[in-house]
Structure 1
């Protein structure tokens, strides 16, 4: 388009572009056909794509959106090319899934591994750093499950899909309180006489050792260990 063809107030160009008005009907037809094919592809891909998805499946979803966009809206793009690309994406995803079933190493390379974030009520700081997560993000996820302190937890895993798997202790121990004292709801953690918890990693020590650095992370910040 030449610069002189761009005029403010040219509503035909703004609303329809350079395509004729009848192309709107063709756009509706293109959208209907590609939508039906896309639904078919998603149905074949399986129910997991509609729920919590892995990195691989998220990539497939973004690819599907990019494929159907141009054939829906561009007059010089045929819809058969879009349908062919949808089928290629379906075959690729199915192939990667079959490769994951055949080889555990291939599955780990394409979908990621499970990472342990909390072990025996103590934060694994190195694992948090590698996963790009902060303590506040983990604490928020735990609070959403009704957990008040780390002493309730045996293990926390970050799955390949991004979900958190939480294994609770059968018998609670003293741990670091993760509740937020907002001064309004009256929510609090009961104090325990079982020592102090490191505010950085949750390591619990006896009362006579809390003035020394944390033996796990060398932090000097302590809080009273709590137990529900």
Structure 2
């Protein structure tokens, strides 16, 4: 068994400033990517979604780290990512304009029993998927729906028409093949 070089484990092999810059840029890039392009599938995780997450994690790790080899390098990088996450959550909580940027508004996909085709098309939700979602909410006919929204987290919220069965419910959005 080879000897462990303890000094190599706990000293920086890459400049901490470089790690902070790399971690910041990759975190913000991935945040924007998921905020603007991957919203529809956020509420569910299929095998292909998991594969994408693993590949992105590997690619991001290589882009963020350069060639780091020490624990200290990893600690700086992980701390940078966590700090950005906490900071964005803090700013979003305290400042409404930032919250609007961080969280997309819900998108109406059914209004008063009428499909909102433009929104369904933009979010790539097929009629079959919409019907499946309604069945998951125990709704047989579109006329029973007052409003249905694609929420920022990818879930679908359905509000029933007055006098039609009971309550509103939220279910995770399933993607084809999941």
Give the shorter-chain TM-score range. Answer: 0.5 to 0.7
Check 1:155–1:68 CA distance in 2 against 1; reply closer, same or farther (3 A cut). closer
What TM-score does the superposition give when structure 1 sets the normalisation length? 0.43
Superposed, 1:209-224 pairs within 5 Å as none
Q: CA deviation at 1:113?
A: 1.4
**Cα-to-partner distance string for 1:74-121 (whole Å, 9 max, x where unaligned):** x96112211111111111011111121223232222231111110101
Q: Does 1:124 align with 2:113?
A: no
The equivalent of 1:171 in structure 2 is 163
Q: Does 1:113 align with 2:105?
A: yes
Superposed, 1:129-208 pairs within 5 Å as 129-172=121-164
Q: CA deviation at 1:126?
A: 1.2
Q: Secondary structure at the match of 1:139?
A: helix
**Cα-to-partner distance string for 1:158-203 (whole Å, 9 max, x where unaligned):** 100000111112324xxxxxxxxxxxxxxxxxxxxxxxxxxxxxxx
Q: Secondary structure at the match of 1:167?
A: strand
Check 1:166–1:144 CA distance in 2 against 1; reply closer, same or farther (3 A cut). same
> CA contact under 8 A between 2:68 and 2:74: conserved in structure 1?
no
Q: Secondary structure at the match of 2:154?
A: coil
Check 1:112–1:76 CA distance in 2 against 1; reply closer, same or farther (3 A cut). closer
**Cα-to-partner distance string for 1:4-58 (whole Å, 9 max, x where unaligned):** xxxxxxxxxxxxxxxxx759x99xxx9xxxxxxxxxxxxxxxxxxxxxxxx4597
Give 2:83's match in structure 1, choosing from 91, 105, 122. Answer: 91
Q: CA deviation at 1:66?
A: 4.1
C-alpha separation in 2, matches of 1:63 and 1:108? 29
Aligned residue pairs: how many? 118
Check 1:101–1:112 CA distance in 2 against 1; reply closer, same or farther (3 A cut). same
CA RMSD in angstroms comes to: 3.5
Larger radius of gyration: 1
What TM-score does the superposition give when structure 2 sets the normalisation length? 0.54
Give 2:92's match in structure 1, choosing from 73, 79, 100. Answer: 100
Q: Secondary structure at the match of 2:88?
A: helix
More helix by share: 2
